[in-house]
Every structure is written in C-alpha cells, then in structure tokens.
Amino acid sequence: MRKKVIFGNWKMFKTNKEAIEFIQDAENKLKLPNNYVAGIAAPFTALSDLKKVSKNIIICAQNCHFKTNGAYTGEISIPMLKGIGITHVIIGHSERREMFAETSETVNEKLKSLLNEGLTPVFCCGESLEIYESKKTIDFIKEQIIKGFKDIKDSDAEKVIVAYEPIWAIGTGKTASPEQAQDVIKSIRDILSNIYTKDVASKIIIQYGGSVNPKNVNNILSQPDIDGALVGGSSIEVSSFLELFKTNEK
Ligand code: PGA
C-alpha cells in the first residue's frame, strides 16, 4: 500500500528562528496517523538547524543545482544538502519554472543527479489556466513527464515523488475538485505506466498540490490515485499544518 505523504512548502517564508520554533512546536504536537508521512520544505537558511530539531517531520529542500560544484554563484548543490542530512528535494515547482527559468531539461538534470546521489526528488508538474481552459492539460503534463523522466531507469523512477499542481490552483483558493485531481493523477499514473511498467507506476507516490487546506485534504486524499499533498499556505501556521493530519480514518 502506498503511503500518504503530506509535505508543507514554506516557499520564501520564515527566518531561521521562526522555522525552528515551528518545527519544535509541531514535533511536540504531531500525531501522525498510520501510514502517513509528514514533511516541510524550508528555505535553505533553516535546513541545517531544522535537521537538528526534527524527529518525525522530514526536512526537505525547495531546490538544488544539478552540478556537484562549480562557478554557479548563489546556487546550492546536492552534496551540500546531503552533507547536512537532507533526503528530499522539490524540483520543477511552477514558481521556479515561471520566475527562475527552470525548464524540463534542467528539471531532468536535477532528477538524474538527485537519484544518483540517493536523494528523493519531489518532481512538480502542472498546467497553467490557459492550458487548462483549452483542455490541453494531459498533453502538457505528458510532455513535462516525458522530458523530465528522460534517461531515468525503472528502479530509480519508482523512488520519485510526483506532485501534480495545477498552476491556477496554487495560492488562489481555487482547488481542483477531488474528482478532477483524481482524473489527472490517474492519467499521470497511466503515462508513467506507458514509459515504465504498471508495477513501477503503481509504486510511485503522486501528490496533489494547489490550495489544499484542513477542510479539503481528506476528500482529496480519499481518491484512489492521490497519495498525498504538497501544501503552501496551510503549512505556514503550526495549527493548520497539524490539522492536515487529522484523518477520518482513525
Ligand atoms: P498553496 O501552494 O497550497 O498555497 O496553493 C502549493 C504549492 O505551491 O506547493
């Protein structure tokens, strides 16, 4: 059975002090249901200290460079992250694709380098409002996945976490309905089945992201192909982050 993996994504929020206070408080109060995994993607400045105070919450990075080292001013490499114990890294978030010239080609390089180093990539994909309205979502996502997973072998592909985040739902308060999200995520699993095998695709964790909050999370996670959530706004306060883990299943 695939686990339910809920990661908060703080984006460019929280000083180191605020980040530490959050994780200490959340670790004290978190009641993780069976089969659930919790994580927070924090800014680079907080990662090292958060690794020291976290216990059950996985501390993730929000980006990385694909080269080991070099003249890349302002960048952070995978060995640097690995050196402080980071195991999970978000790549290809739509905000990075839109504002920081991230392409499917660079996302593919990052995916390959992370897997080579034994880290878990959280591979983001998702369509704009324009593509959604012109009903080209699946074609668009298919291209992002084919390019993103180029030269990734079966045994590595199954280790990737995919996050489907329609851009029109990020930070807008507009969520895809659970059924809409299920349809696209089922298609993502079919695309992965075609590239790899059904068995490989059935092991891949696929999250939904885009205005997930404590009220809608359980309906979204009850869909058969949705294995978790990537959560921005509702992961900023400890109380709403913790509420994401209050399931109906207990
Ligand atoms: P949101 O962000 O939950 O604030 O919509 C999600 C994300 O960008 O990962």
| Alpha carbon of 191 to ligand 1 centroid (Å) | 24
Q: Render pLDDT for 13-38 as a digit per residue (tens, 0 to 9).
A: 999 999 999 999 999 999 999 999 99
In the annotation, is 65 catalytic?
no
Q: What's the total number of domains in the chain?
A: 1
pLDDT band (50, 70, 90) for residue 151: very high
Atom from ligand 1 closest to the CA of residue 210: 5
Q: Which helix (H) or strand (E) holds 127?
A: none
Q: Which residue in 95, 102, 127, 165 is the catalytic one?
A: 165
The reported pLDDT for the residue numbered 233 is 97
In the annotation, is 93 catalytic?
yes
Write b or e for each residue in 106-134: b if 16 or more Cβ atoms lie within 10 A of its Cβ, otherwise e: bbbbbbbbbbeeebbbbbbbbbbeebbee
Q: Residue whose CA is closest, atom 6 of ligand 1? A: 232
Q: What CATH number is given to the structural domain containing 206? A: 3.20.20.70
Q: Render pLDDT for 125-146 as a digit per residue (tens, 0 to 9).
A: 999 999 999 999 999 999 999 9
pLDDT band (50, 70, 90) for residue 250: very low
C-alpha to C-alpha distance for 39 and 57, rounded to whole angstroms: 5
| Alpha carbon of 127 to ligand 1 centroid (Å) | 14
DSSP 8-class letter at 40: E
Q: Provide the residue range defining the domain that includes 216.
A: 4-246
Helix or strand or coil: residue 118?
A: coil
